[in-house]
C-alpha cells in the first residue's frame, strides 16, 4: 500500500470552465476552486467585492470570476490588492503547513509514512457519504447528515488528516422548497450548471477524463468522476449523466434521496462500488474505509470481490474487509435505516456480485443483510454494514445506548458513542468571531493549537458584557433584515397587498425576544408542540411589556405527507389573527438560512420525541454564538445540558403514551417560557444591559466551543475508530493529559 502522505492528497483535475484573469490576480483561480473560502470570511468578501451582483445571484466564486468584473478598477484599488495578497497568503500558508497540526504531532511516525510494529504502510482514510453540505451554492445535501459530513471534512482538512471523501454529484440536487398561500409545500428541482460551480473533472493516469464502469442487469454503467477540493481534502463525486450512458441511466445520480426504491438502490450501488473503483483507478489504497451511514454498504461487497478474485476464499475476504472498515449510525428512526426487498437486491445487484473473477454468493450477501426482523425478507444496509465493520459508533452517548439495544445480536461488539460536533469557523458569526479574535486571540480553525496554556473558551469573561451583547444584537439585526426580505418575496408571490408587504418592515423587530426553530419537518421532531395551546401561546407572544416572536424554517421530504401537513398547519396558524406578526416560517431552508438563524435568534428550540433524535447539531451552532438551547433531553442535549447553560424541557422519564408525553412536554415548555426564559431576557441592570442573559450567553459558548466541535469529534474518531488496527503503538506517541474545560473534558497535548 502507498504510504500515508505528509502532504495533501493530490488528484489530477481539469476545470469545468475556462476564463481569463489578470496575471496579478491569478491566485483567485486557486482560491475559487478550493472550498477553503467557505469558512474564511475574508475570502468570501474578496469575491463579493469582485462582482457583488454575481455574488448575490450565484454565491459561487466561479460565476463571479467568469463574468465581467471591473478588473482595471480592482487592480487600481490599493485596499483590494492589499486584501487580496493577505487572503492569498493565508491560503498558501494553510495549504503548505500541516506539519504542526494535532494529527501530525500525535502520530508522527504514521504521518511521515513510517508505520509502527512492522505493519504495512497505510494510505488515507476514505470517507463515504451520500450527501455533503459545504455551502449553499452546492446543493448536494439535504440536512443534518450532509452538514455533518461537510463539517467532518473541513475539520479533517484543518487537522491535516490524510483523508479523501466519496459521494455522488447530484446535478438536480435536493428539492427547492416553496410554500404556497395555503401552506402547501411545493417541490422544484434545479438543474445545476457545473461550469458555474467549483467542481473539477478528475483525470485518469492516462491524462484523459476518468471513467469508471459498474455492471448492472444487461448493461455496463459508465461513471464520470468529479472533484471538490475542501482545503487539503479532495472529495470525489460520481456522475452518471454523461453521453456514454443510455438516457434511462443518466438520471441515476440526478436527485438526492430520490423517492423510487429501485432508483435509490441503483444510486447506492454507484456510490459503494463506483467509489471503490474510482479510488483504485487513481492508485489510492485507503488505510481505513469509513461508511457514514449505510448508503455506501456495497463498497464492502466490491472490496470482498477483489480479494476473492486475488485468490482469497469468501469468508476470509469478508474478514479482511471487516478489519479495515468502520461505520457510523446516524439515526435511531426506523425509516432512516436503509432497507430494500431482498428480491430487488438480488435482481439489481446480482450481476455485479456474480461477476467473475471474484464472484460472491448472493445468498451469503443477503444473509449478512438480514435485519432485526428476519421474517421481513429485506436487505438491511445498516445490519450488513455492522456485520462487516471492525467498529461502529453512534452520534451521541444517548444514541449509543439506544443503538446497542436496537442492534443487539447484529453488531459484533459494543457500538461506541462519539457525539457529533460542528465546524466552528463555519458557523460562528462574523461579529462573534471578531470578539473571539480581538479579546482572546482565538484561532477558530485551530482549536487544538499547541502551546495554549488556557483555552480561549475558558476566558470568555475577558469580553466586555456590552460588547458581547452588541455583537449579538448586530447579528440579530442582520437576521431581521434577511428574514424581512425573504418573507417579502414569499408574500408577494402569494398576492398579499402592498400594505401587508410594507408592514413587514415593522415586524421581526430585533429588540423583541426571538425563538428559533429550524430542522427537517419529520413528525417525531414535533414542530407543532409549541402550538398545543394557541391561546396561551398568543398571550405569551403579544405581551405588551415582554413580547416574543418565533421564526421557523425546514423542509419535509417529498414523500413525507405527515411532515408536510405539519408545515401547512404552522403556516396557517402564522397567518391567523391571533399569531399574525409574531410567528413566521421561512421557505427553502438551506445553509445560508441556517447561518442567519443560529447566529441571530435569542434561544434555540428543539422538541423531538425522546430518544428518536440521534444527535442534532443546529443547537451546537447556536450555542457557539451565545444562543442558549431550550430542548428536550435528547440527542446531544442529553449530555450538553449542565443546568446553567440553557433549559431542559421535561425530564428523562417517560410519561406514558405519546399524547400524554406531548401534553406534559408542552406544559413544561410554556412554564419555562413564561416564568423563566422571557422574564430573564427582559431583565436589565442599571446600565440597561441584560446582565443575567449575557452570563447565560457566556456559559452556552463555554460549554459548546470545544466539546461540541468537530475538532474534538475527530480526535475521538482518530483515537477510537481510525487508528486501531493499523499497528500504531500509542505508547510511542506524545503523552496526552486530560484537562477540565468548562465542565467538560478536553484532550490537550502535553509539552
Does 120 have pLDDT greater than 60? Answer: no
Whether residue 745 lies inside any domain: the answer is: no
Does 730 have pLDDT greater than 60? Answer: no
What's the pLDDT tens digit per position in 479-495?
999 999 999 999 999 99
Does 740 have pLDDT greater than 70? Answer: no
**Which of 427, 420, 421 is closest to 38 using CA atoms?**
427
Percent of the chain with pLDDT over 70: 93
Does 551 have pLDDT greater than 60? Answer: yes
- Reported as a pLDDT band with limits 50, 70 and 90, residue 7 is low
Cα gap 143→429, rounded to integer Å: 20
Quick one: pLDDT at residue 555? 97
Cα gap 143→256, rounded to integer Å: 11
Provide the grid cell at 44: 468570501
Provide the grid cell at 532: 398545543
**514 and 586 in contact (C-beta within 8 Å)?**
no
Whether residue 654 lies inside any domain: the answer is: yes
Is 637 found in the same domain as 588? yes
Whether residue 730 lies inside any domain: the answer is: no
Q: How far is CA 738 from the centre of its chain?
A: 28
Over range 528-548, report the average pLDDT: 97
Whether residue 9 lies inside any domain: the answer is: no
- Reported as a pLDDT band with limits 50, 70 and 90, residue 699 is very high
Does 137 have pLDDT greater than 90? Answer: yes
Mean pLDDT, the chain, as a whole number? 92
What's the pLDDT tens digit per position in 326-367?
999 998 876 678 999 999 999 999 999 999 999 999 999 999
Is 587 found in the same domain as 477? yes
The helix or strand, by DSSP H or E, that contains position 503, with its residue range, turns out to be: helix 498-503
Quick one: pLDDT at residue 716? 97
What's the pLDDT tens digit per position in 223-252?
999 999 999 999 999 999 999 999 999 999
Cα gap 288→122, rounded to integer Å: 8
Is 580 found in the same domain as 476? yes
Quick one: pLDDT at residue 1? 34
Quick one: pLDDT at residue 751? 28
| DSSP helix/strand/coil, 127 | strand
Q: How far apart are the first and last CA of the chain?
A: 33
* CATH code of the domain in which 152 resides: 3.40.50.2000
What are the C-alpha distances in Å from 246 to residues 220, 355, 387? 10, 22, 35
**Which of 548, 541, 552, 577 is closest to 490 using CA atoms?**
552
| DSSP helix/strand/coil, 167 | strand
What's the pLDDT tens digit per position in 580-603?
999 999 999 999 999 999 999 999
**Strand ranges, E, within 416-480:** 416-417
3-state secondary structure 19-76: CCCCHHHCHHHHHHCCHHHHHCHHHHHHHHHHCHHHHHHHCCHHHHHCCCCCHHHHHC
Whether residue 114 lies inside any domain: the answer is: no
What is 625-682 written as a DSSP string? TTPEEEEES-TTHHHH--SSSEEEES-SS--SSHHHHHHHHHHHHHHIIIIIIHHHHH
Is 436 found in the same domain as 413? no
What's the pLDDT tens digit per position in 251-310?
999 999 999 999 999 999 999 999 999 999 999 999 999 999 999 999 999 999 999 999
Lateral strand order in the sheet of 513-518: 583-586, 548-553, 513-518, 603-606, 628-632, 646-649
Whether residue 2 lies inside any domain: the answer is: no
Whether residue 510 lies inside any domain: the answer is: yes
Cα gap 253→263, rounded to integer Å: 9
Over range 416-427, report the average pLDDT: 98
Provide the whole-model pTM. Answer: 0.95
Helix axes 144-158, 710-717, angle to 10 degrees: 80
Is 594 found in the same domain as 474? yes
Cα atoms found within 13 Å of the Cα of residue 647, Cβ hemisphere only = 23
Quick one: pLDDT at residue 16? 83
- Reported as a pLDDT band with limits 50, 70 and 90, residue 747 is very low
Is 501 found in the same domain as 435? yes
Last-in-domain residue among 417, 436, 462: 417
- Provide the 10 A C-beta neighbour count for residue 294: 26
Quick one: pLDDT at residue 729? 47
- Reported as a pLDDT band with limits 50, 70 and 90, residue 528 is very high
Over range 210-217, report the average pLDDT: 97
- Which residues, in sequence order, are CB contacts of 689 under 8 Å at separation 6+? 465, 466, 469
Q: How far is CA 39 from the centre of its chain?
A: 13
Quick one: pLDDT at residue 9? 85
Is 374 found in the same domain as 340? yes
Provide the grid cell at 289: 474505509
Whether residue 107 lies inside any domain: the answer is: no
Is 626 found in the same domain as 605? yes
Is 382 found in the same domain as 281? yes
What's the pLDDT tens digit per position in 599-642?
999 999 999 999 999 999 999 999 999 999 999 999 999 999 99
Over range 367-377, report the average pLDDT: 94
Dihedral sign from CA coordinates of 281, 287, 291, 292: negative
3-state secondary structure 300-361: HHHHHHHHHHCCCCHHHHHHHHHHCEEEECCCCCHHHCCEEEHHHHHHHHHHHHCCCCCCCC
Is 556 found in the same domain as 684? yes
Is 548 found in the same domain as 402? no
Is 367 found in the same domain as 510? no
Does 745 have pLDDT greater than 70? Answer: no
- Is beta strand 288-292 parallel, antiparallel or unpaired with respect to 325-328? parallel
- Provide the 10 A C-beta neighbour count for residue 166: 28
Query: 3-state DSSP helix/strand/coil percent for the chain, to nearest 5?
Result: 45, 15, 40
**212 and 274 in contact (C-beta within 8 Å)?**
yes
Last-in-domain residue among 79, 96, 113: 96
**Which of 368, 327, 229, 210 is closest to 275 using CA atoms?**
210
Quick one: pLDDT at residue 744? 40
**Which of 704, 629, 621 is closest to 672 using CA atoms?**
629
**100 and 159 in contact (C-beta within 8 Å)?**
no
Quick one: pLDDT at residue 224? 98
Over range 540-557, report the average pLDDT: 97
**Rg, the chain, Cα only:** 26
- Reported as a pLDDT band with limits 50, 70 and 90, residue 10 is confident
**Which of 461, 547, 562, 565 is closest to 508 using CA atoms?**
547
Over range 418-430, report the average pLDDT: 98
For residue 440, the enclosing domain spans: 428-708
Last-in-domain residue among 355, 390, 417: 417
Structurally, the chain folds into a number of domains equal to: 3
- Reported as a pLDDT band with limits 50, 70 and 90, residue 704 is very high
Over range 442-458, report the average pLDDT: 84
Does 75 have pLDDT greater than 70? Answer: yes
- Which residues, in sequence order, are CB contacts of 748 under 8 Å at separation 6+? 448, 455, 736, 737, 738, 739
Does 163 have pLDDT greater than 70? Answer: yes
Amino acid at each position: 500500500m502507498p504510504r500515508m502522505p505528509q502532504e495533501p492528497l493530490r488528484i489530477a483535475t481539469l476545470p469545468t470552465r475556462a476564463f481569463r484573469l489578470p496575471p496579478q490576480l491569478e491566485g483567485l483561480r486557486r482560491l475559487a476552486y478550493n472550498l477553503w473560502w467557505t469558512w474564511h470570511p475574508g475570502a468570501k468578501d474578496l469575491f463579493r467585492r469582485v462582482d457583488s451582483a454575481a455574488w448575490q445571484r450565484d454565491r459561487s466564486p466561479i460565476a463571479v470570476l467568469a463574468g465581467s468584473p471591473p478588473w482595471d478598477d480592482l487592480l487600481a484599488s490599493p485596499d483590494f490588492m492589499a486584501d487580496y495578497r493577505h487572503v492569498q497568503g493565508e491560503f498558501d500558508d494553510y495549504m503548505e503547513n500541516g506539519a504542526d497540526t494535532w494529527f501530525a504531532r500525535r502520530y508522527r511516525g504514521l504521518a511521515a509514512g513510517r508505520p509502527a510494529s512492522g505493519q504495512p504502510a497505510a494510505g488515507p482514510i476514505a470517507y463515504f457519504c451520500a450527501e455533503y453540505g459545504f455551502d449553499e451554492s452546492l446543493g448536494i445535501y439535504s440536512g443534518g447528515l450532509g452538514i455533518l459530513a461537510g463539517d467532518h471534512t473541513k475539520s479533517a482538512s484543518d487537522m491535516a488528516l490524510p483523508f479523501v471523501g466519496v459521494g455522488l454529484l447530484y446535478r438536480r440536487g435536493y428539492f427547492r422548497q416553496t410554500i404556497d398561500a395555503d401552506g402547501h409545500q411545493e417541490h422544484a428541482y434545479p438543474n445545476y450548471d457545473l461550469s458555474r460551480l467549483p467542481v473539477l473533472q478528475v483525470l485518469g493516469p492516462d491524462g484523459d477524463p476518468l471513467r469508471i464502469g459498474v455492471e448492472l442487469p444487461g448493461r455496463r454503467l459508465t461513471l464520470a468522476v468529479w472533484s471538490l477540493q475542501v482545503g487539503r481534502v479532495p472529495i470525489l463525486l460520481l456522475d452518471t449523466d454523461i453521453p456514454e450512458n443510455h438516457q434511462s441511466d443518466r438520471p441515476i445520480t440526478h436527485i438526492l434521496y430520490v423517492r423510487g426504491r429501485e432508483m435509490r438502490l441503483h444510486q447506492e450501488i454507484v456510490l459503494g462500488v463506483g467509489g471503490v473503483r474510482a479510488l483504485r483507478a487513481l492508485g489510492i489504497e485507503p488505510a481505513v474505509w469509513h461508511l457514514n451511514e449505510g448508503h455506501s454498504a456495497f463498497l464492502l461487497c466490491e472490496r470482498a470481490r477483489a480479494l476473492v478474485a486475488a485468490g482469497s476464499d469468501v469468508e476470509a475476504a469478508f474478514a479482511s474487509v471487516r478489519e479495515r472498515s468502520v461505520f457510523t449510525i446516524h439515526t435511531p428512526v426506523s425509516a432512516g435505516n436503509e432497507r430494500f426487498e431482498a428480491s430487488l437486491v438480488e435482481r439489481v445487484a446480482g450481476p455485479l456480485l456474480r461477476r467473475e473473477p471474484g464472484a460472491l454468493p448472493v445468498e451469503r450477501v443477503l444473509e449478512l443483510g438480514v435485519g432485526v426482523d428476519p421474517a421481513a425478507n429485506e436487505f438491511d444496509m445498516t445490519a450488513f454494514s455492522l456485520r462487516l465493520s471492525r467498529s461502529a459508533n453512534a452520534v451521541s452517548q444517548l444514541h449509543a445506548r439506544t443503538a446497542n439495544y436496537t442492534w443487539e445480536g447484529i453488531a459484533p461488539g459494543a457500538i461506541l458513542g462519539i457525539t457529533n460536533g460542528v465546524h466552528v469557523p463555519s458557523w460562528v458569526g462574523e461579529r462573534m468571531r471578531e470578539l473571539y479574535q480581538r479579546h482572546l486571540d482565538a484561532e477558530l480553525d485551530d482549536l487544538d493549537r499547541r502551546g495554549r496554556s488556557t483555552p480561549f473558551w475558558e476566558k470568555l469573561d475577558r469580553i466586555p458584557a456590552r460588547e458581547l451583547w452588541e455583537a449579538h444584537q448586530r447579528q440579530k439585526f442582520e437576521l431581521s433584515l434577511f428574514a424581512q426580505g425573504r418573507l417579502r418575496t414569499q408574500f408577494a408571490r402569494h398576492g398579499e397587498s402592498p400594505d401587508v408587504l410594507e408592514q413587514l418592515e415593522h415586524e421581526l423587530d430585533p429588540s423583541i425576544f426571538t425563538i428559533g426553530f429550524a430542522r427537517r419537518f419529520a413528525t417525531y421532531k414535533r414542530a407543532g408542540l409549541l402550538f398545543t395551546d394557541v391561546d396561551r401561546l398568543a398571550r405569551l407572544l403579544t405581551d405588551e411589556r415582554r413580547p416574543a416572536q418565533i421564526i421557523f424554517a425546514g423542509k419535509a421530504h417529498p414523500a413525507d405527507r405527515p411532515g408536510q401537513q405539519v408545515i401547512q398547519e404552522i403556516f396557517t396558524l402564522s397567518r391567523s389573527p391571533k399569531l399574525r406578526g409574531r410567528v413566521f416560517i421561512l421557505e427553502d431552508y438551506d445553509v445560508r438560512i441556517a447561518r442567519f438563524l443560529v447566529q441571530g435568534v435569542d434561544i434555540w428550540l428543539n422538541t423531538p420525541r425522546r430518544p428518536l433524535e440521534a444527535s442534532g447539531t443546529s443547537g451546537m451552532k447556536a450555542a457557539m454564538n451565545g444562543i442558549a438551547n431550550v430542548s428536550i433531553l435528547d440527542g446531544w442535549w442529553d449530555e450538553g445540558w449542565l443546568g446553567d447553560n440553557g433549559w431542559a424541557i421535561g425530564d428523562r422519564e417517560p410519561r406514558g403514551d405519546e399524547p400524554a408525553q406531548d401534553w406534559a412536554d408542552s406544559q413544561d415548555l410554556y412554564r419555562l417560557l413564561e416564568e423563566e426564559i422571557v422574564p430573564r431576557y427582559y431583565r436589565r441592570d442599571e446600565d440597561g444591559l441584560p446582565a443575567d442573559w449575557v452570563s447565560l450567553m457566556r456559559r452556552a459558548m463555554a460549554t459548546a466551543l470545544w466539546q461540541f466541535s468537530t475538532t474534538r469529534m475527530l480526535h475521538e474518531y482518530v483515537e477510537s475508530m481510525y487508528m486501531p488496527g493499523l499497528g500504531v503503538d500509542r505508547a510511542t506517541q506524545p503523552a496526552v493529559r486530560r484537562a477540565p474545560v468548562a465542565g467538560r473534558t478536553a484532550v490537550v497535548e502535553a509539552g
